[in-house]
Amino acid sequence: MGTITRSFANNITSGGTFDATDLTGTIPASNIADASVTNITDVPALVVVTTVASDPPSPDAGQIWYNTTDKALRAYIQGVGAWASGGSLNTARSSGQSAGTQTAGLFFGGITPSYTTAVESYDGSSWTTLPATMNTARQGMAGGGTQTSAIGAGGYGPGGAPAGGVRTLTESWNGTAFTEVADLGTARYRFGGLAPDNTSALVFGGNTTPGITRRAQTESWNGTSWTEVNDLNTTRYGLRGAGVPGSALAFGGVNAVPASTGETESWNGTSWTEVADLNTARLGVGAAGTSNTASLAFGGAPSDRAITESWNGTSWTEVADMATGREYPSGSGTQAAALATGGKVVSTPSALTEEWTQANVTTDLGAS
């Protein structure tokens, strides 16, 4: 503490404030009580706890407060998630492409076991078959978007060029019809991808020929054309992705036949970084999420998996299982509100839809 040229008591004014005119030197920060400091211009990254007489009516996720009436320290945090049955697809199928949310979804393409161009929309309770269809029937596409603005790229269709059924075709959905747009640079299927709408997308990995060929190529879509960007660190097929083109996650798949992998890579808009693996290695999982810090993985092969895992930006945590395990379900939505649609159950295309909900809840901290 600085030098005091008068007694400390003489520096306290009659109004209770501190008169520092007779002090020299520096007062250590540790000697200053937080409650006595005003006009703060910068505060370190600390947990802020507010004091209230009653719980906030609309708290923000992660907010902490002390309720003086109940004498309780509380927080608004993510609760326990669960799957519930949703409306069934009109056409049972596997390996289709999803877009949208839990209450406004879109599902297109897939295999019934015949390749299909069918398009269905979801209103939160039931699926409706739309009059519009895709231009080219196929399964194993990558893409995403919303119910009114979506994209599906690549995939595998009936035999013929290119690559014996492996496609470069890209189709864009405007809410009314699919239109063929610019092709992928590399034909492939069973690959990862994501898209917030039909003007922006990212796809990665996959098979480029029928069989077990594995790729690491990543391509970015700007609404007009595809551009190859930095590769995945590990070549693989049967992987899935979640997030947006500037913040994405790639997980699962096969990188060494016949074994599946739990490998996870995080995309920052420029390059991929290997992060913590899934707890259960698998391929053909369903995926949902909005960034490389908040994603959900569910289902998968082999053996009709029902396992669900949640990603927090650092690690995967196993949460509640799906009601029906299945391979190659299609996923959409967010980490807290996801939709699992279609897939294969005992090698048979399924019409099942399940809805995942993990709402935030108020909880007492330290309660036993």
CATH classification of the domain holding 214: 2.120.10.80
Q: Per-residue pLDDT tens for 308-332?
A: 999 999 999 999 999 999 999 999 9
- Point out the least confidently predicted range of 29-43, 111-125, 140-154, 272-286: 29-43
Lowest mean pLDDT among 14-18, 48-52, 230-234: 14-18
Residue 12 has pLDDT above 80, yes or no: no
Q: Which of 292, 332, 286 is nearest to 305 (CA)?
A: 286
Q: Are residues 207 and 331 in the same domain?
A: yes
139 and 33 in a common domain: no
* Total domains, the chain: 2
Q: Assess whether pLDDT exceeds 70 at residue 7.
A: no
pLDDT in the model for residue 199: 98
Does residue 365 lie within any of the structural domains?
no
pLDDT of 103 over the 90 cut: yes
**With 80 as the cut, is the pLDDT of residue 66 above it?**
yes
End of a domain among 51, 78, 105?
78
Domain finish residue from 78, 111, 132: 78
With a cut of 80, say whether residue 37 has pLDDT above it. no
Same domain, 38 and 115: no
The answer to whether residue 167 is domain-embedded is: yes
- Co-location of 128 and 224 in the same domain: yes
Same domain, 209 and 342: yes
**89 shares its domain with 54:** no
Domain that holds residue 322: 82-360
Percent of the chain whose predicted confidence (pLDDT) is above 70: 85
CA distance 216 to 229: 11
* Domain termination site, one of 78, 111, 139: 78
Residue 222 and residue 167 share a domain? yes
Average pLDDT of 10-20? 52
pLDDT at res. 73: 92
- pLDDT computed for residue 195 by the predictor: 98
Whether the CB-CB separation of 307 and 280 falls below 8 Å is answered with: yes
Higher pLDDT residue, 244 or 160?
244
Domain shared by 164 and 20, yes or no: no
- Do 106 and 50 share a structural domain? no
The mean per-residue pLDDT over the stretch 300-304 comes to 94
* One-letter-per-residue 3-state SS of the chain: CCEECCCHHHHECCCCCECCCCEECCCCHHHCCHHHCCCCCCCCCCCCEEEECCCCCCCCCCCEEEECCCCEEEEEEECCCEEEECCCCCCCCECCEEEECCCCEEEECCECCCECCCEEEECCCCEEECCCCCCCCCECCEEEECCCCEEEECCECCCCCCHHHECCCEEEECCCCEEEECCCCCCCECCEEEEEECCEEEEECCECCCCCCCECCEEEECCCCEEEECCCCCCEECCEEEEECCEEEEECCEEECCEECCCEEEECCCCEEEECCCCCCCECCEEEEEECCEEEEECCECCCCCCEEEECCCCEEEECCCCCCCECCEEEECCCEEEEECCEECCEECCCEEEEECCEEEEECCCC
In a domain, 31, yes or no: yes
Say if residue 169's pLDDT is above 50. Answer: yes
Determine what percent of the chain is predicted with pLDDT higher than 90: 76
> Does a structural domain hold residue 247?
yes
**Over the chain, what is the mean pLDDT?**
89
Do 193 and 341 belong to one domain?
A: yes
Please report whether residue 211 resides in a domain. yes
In a domain, 366, yes or no: no
Q: Is the pLDDT of residue 42 over 60?
A: no
pTM: 0.82
Condensed to tens digits (0 to 9), the pLDDT of residues 117-166 reads 999 999 999 999 999 999 999 999 999 999 999 999 999 998 765 556 89
Sign of the Cα torsion 357, 130, 133, 137 reads positive
Q: Are residues 7 and 147 in the same domain?
A: no
Looking at the structure, tell me whether residues 102 and 192 fall in a common domain.
yes
Sign of CA dihedral 136, 137, 143, 149: positive
Q: Would strands 192-197 and 286-291 be described as parallel, antiparallel, or unpaired? A: unpaired
